[in-house]
Structures are given as C-alpha cells and as structure tokens.
C-alpha cells in the first residue's frame, strides 16, 4: 500500500498496514518507558488538535503523543454555539491551514466531517472521532491492547456490547479487527443496533455474544437514548445488558475486558469489574498514547519521505 496520507477510517486498508502501525506503536511504547520520555522524530512539525466537540482524554492523548516526539502542538476547541450554526467549520480549518500546520487531529460531532476536512486541507488529517462514523485510533489502540493478551486475533471472538448503533468505536473496531482475523460480535438492545455493521455479527442476545468470547468490549450508554425513544428505560437496560461478573463468566477465562471510556459505572458495566484483574481500561489509555505516536509518525514522516 502507498504511504498513509490521512487516517479517516479503515476503508481500503490491508493487514500489512495495520501490523506496521502496531509494530511502530510497540517501539513508541518503549520510549514511554524511558525516564526521558521524548524523541526528536517530529521536530519541526506542527500538529493541531482541532476539537469541535468537547473531549479531554482524547485531546490530551494526542497532544502528549505529538510532544513526546518533539512536534509543536497547537489546540483549537470550537465553541459549541458557533459550530451549531455550522458556518465556521470550513473557515476555521482554512484559517488554521494558513498557519502552516502539518497535521490536523479532528474531533467532530457529525459523521463525515473528517472526510470533508481532508478534502479541503493540504496537510494530514487524523480522525479523532466523527459523529457515529469512526474513531480509528481508538480501534487501533484496542487492537494493540487485545494483542498483548491474545498474541494473535486470528479466529478470536471479540464481543462488543452496548449502544452499537451510535458508536463510532464499534464501527471502527468492526472495520479493523476482521483485518487481523478476528470474528466480531456486536450485541445490544434492538433499538441500539444498526441495520448493518459491516464486519460484525449482530445479536440482541447478550449471552450468545459473550459465550466463549476471547475478549469483551463494553460501550458507553448515553442517557439521552431514553429521551430519543431508542430505549425504554435504564432499569431495563441494566437488567438485560449490563456486563456483570456473572455474565462475563460465559466468556473464556481471563478474557480481557475493554472500555473506551468514559465509563458509566454500574450502567453498562458492573462497577467493580472496571478495577478487577480482567479490566484493561488503564492499559488502553497507555496504549492510546503509543498508538497515536505511531499514527502521527507514519503520517508525517511517511509523507515527507
């Protein structure tokens, strides 16, 4: 495959490209283990984090990733009101572009905004989440984390549980994990499953999805879903779909438990499980930093080469 120009989603990707990124991320994690956590790899490059939707964790993760490699970092946080009108989106990007930036890490509330940005900008665009569409670095860090436990994802059953319909994390994982040989299941209540999730088997039966799963990924449940009529009540969700210790017992012993955060403890997940031996939640955060270093490195150095 050619050099990576943008990271928007995984359309058109092959396994070699994924493995090459994972390999780079492993080298980057070694940097994070050093007392002096900094390398000069991206000195002279400037990375902008352009967040049209509030997010602290992802923004910090990207900013740290860029700084660990000596890139300069600028941050833009779009005020909710100006984006609601919508006019400022393209103009904001063009203004930033005039500042001679090299990469734009974009978080946006509507599907397709990262693709639109890639059409308008000369620099590299990293999709840090666009609406329900995609969150590719999350899926990459999930794959990275899973591979620490599972060695290989070939033939492994990965169960994604919860509000799949509205989840960019689920969509990106369903695109990515099959490239590594995994068999992805997505389970949730009928109102929260999409009509189709390419790369995944859909089921409203949580037990079926969890049965002999090699790993379990739990998604955040937004309370707005009840107001939208997608879900009758929180009580019903918790009773039927909360991942509990008892339900997790259906999965393989030691199957790792992932959550993209932020968590609603005791809603989608029995609270104490997040702190238990199966939880990889903190591991995911660390992997995210290494993975984002690898992505920026491939985009900026790969492009320049």
Partner 1 sequence: MRLLIKNARLVDGSGELGTADVLVEDGRIASLAGGDAEQVLDAVGRWLAPALTDPHVHLRTPGQETKEDLATGLAAAARGGYGAVAAMPNTEPVVQEPEQVRALLDEARALPGARLMVAAALTENQEGRRLTPALLLAKAGAALLTDDGRSNEDAGVLARGLIYAAAAGLAVAVHAEDAGLRGGGVMNDSPLAAELGLAGNPPEAEAARIARDLEVLRYAVRKAGALGHEPRLYLQHVSTARGAALVAAAQAEGLPAMGEVTPHHLTLTEEAWRGFDARFKVAPPLRTAGDVEALIGALERGELSAIGSDHAPHTAAEKDRDLENAPFGIPALEVAFPLLYTELVERRGLALSLLIERMTTGPRAALGLAPARLEDGAPADLMLFDPAQRRIVDPARFVSKARYSPWAGRELAGWPLLTLVAGKEVWRDSALA
Neighbours of 280 (CB within 10 A): 20
Residue from 40, 79, 87, 235 touching partner 1 (CB under 8 A): that is 87
**Which of 20, 82, 116, 203 lies at the binding interface for partner 1 (CB under 8 A)?**
116
The correct pick among 133, 278, 292, 298 for binding partner 1 (CB under 8 A) is: 133
User: By C-alpha distance, which of 162, 172, 235, 224 is closest to 198?
Assistant: 172
H or E stretch at 124: strand 124-130
Which of 31, 74, 110, 301 contacts partner 1 by CB under 8 A? 110
User: Whose CA is closest to 217, among 188, 179, 253?
Assistant: 188
Task: Decide: 135 and 127 in contact? Cβ < 8 Å.
Answer: yes
Given the complex with partner 1, which of 90 and 252 has the nearer CB atom? Answer: 90
Question: What is the nearest approach in angstroms of partner 1 to the Cβ of residue 133?
Answer: 4
Residue 203: C-alpha distances to residues 161, 209, 245 (Å): 10, 7, 20
Measured CA to CA, the distance from residue 32 to residue 289 in angstroms comes to 9
The nearer residue to partner 1, 46 or 88, going by C-beta atoms, is 88
Smallest gap from Cβ 33 to partner 1, in A, equals 36
Among 115, 250, 283, 303, binds partner 1 (CB under 8 A): 115
Contacts (CB under 8 A) with partner 1, residues 66-85: 83-85
Task: Confirm or reject binding of residue 112 to partner 1 (CB under 8 A).
Answer: yes
The region of 37-45, 124-132, 155-163, 259-267 touching partner 1 under the rule CB under 8 A is 124-132
- Does 17 bind partner 1 (CB under 8 A)? Our answer is no
Q: How many residues sit close enough to partner 1 to count as binding (CB under 8 A)?
A: 29
Question: In the structure encoding, which two tokens stand for residue 100, read together?
Answer: 């001679």
Is 128 among the residues that bind partner 1 (CB under 8 A)? no
Which three-class secondary structure state does DSSP give residue 105? strand
Closer residue to partner 1, CB minimum distance, 112 or 271:
112
Q: What is the DSSP string of 70-104?
A: T-EEEEEE--HHHHHH-THHHHHHHHHHTT--SEE
Q: Which is nearer to partner 1, 83 or 215 (CB)?
A: 83
Q: Minimum CB separation from partner 1 for residue 195, in Å?
A: 4
In the complex with partner 1, the residue whose CB is nearer, 196 or 235, is 196
Sheet holding 183-187, edge to edge: 200-203, 183-187, 157-161, 215-218, 257-258
Q: Which of residues 174-213 bind partner 1 (CB under 8 A)?
A: 194-198
SS3 152: coil
Q: Please give the Cα distance from 280 to 298 (Å, whole number).
A: 26
Chain residues that interact with partner 1, rule: CB under 8 A: 83-87, 89-90, 108-113, 115-116, 119, 130-134, 165, 168, 171, 194-198
């Amino acid at each position: 495959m050619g050099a990576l120009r943008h990271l928007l989603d995984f359309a058109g990707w092959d396994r070699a490209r994924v493995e090459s990124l994972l390999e780079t991320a492993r080298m980057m994690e070694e940097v994070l283990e050093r007392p002096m956590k900094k390398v000069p790899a991206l000195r002279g490059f400037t990375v902008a984090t352009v967040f049209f939707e509030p997010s602290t964790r992802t923004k910090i993760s990207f900013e740290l990733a860029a700084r660990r490699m000596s890139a300069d970092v600028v941050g833009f946080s779009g005020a909710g009101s100006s984006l609601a009108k919508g006019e400022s989106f393209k103009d904001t990007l063009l203004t930033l572009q005039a500042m001679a930036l090299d990469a734009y890490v974009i978080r946006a509330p509507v599907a397709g905004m990262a693709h639109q940005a890639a059409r308008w900008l000369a620099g590299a665009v990293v999709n840090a989440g666009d609406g329900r569409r995609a969150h590719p670095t999350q899926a990459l860090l999930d794959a990275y984390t899973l591979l620490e436990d599972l060695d290989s994802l070939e033939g492994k059953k990965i169960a994604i549980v919860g509000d799949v319909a509205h989840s960019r994390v689920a969509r990106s994982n369903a695109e990515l994990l099959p490239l590594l040989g995994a068999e992805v299941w997505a389970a949730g209540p009928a109102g929260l499953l999409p009509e189709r999730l390419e790369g995944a088997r859909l089921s409203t039966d949580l037990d079926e999805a969890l049965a002999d799963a090699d790993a379990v990924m739990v998604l955040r449940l937004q309370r707005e879903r009840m107001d939208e009529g997608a879900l009758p009540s929180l009580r019903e969700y918790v009773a039927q779909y909360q991942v509990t210790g008892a339900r997790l017992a259906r999965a393989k012993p030691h199957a790792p438990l992932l959550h993209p955060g932020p968590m609603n403890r005791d809603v989608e997940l029995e609270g104490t499980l997040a702190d238990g031996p199966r939880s990889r939640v903190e591991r995911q955060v660390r992997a995210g930093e290494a993975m984002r270093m690898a992505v920026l490195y491939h985009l900026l150095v790969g492009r320049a080469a």
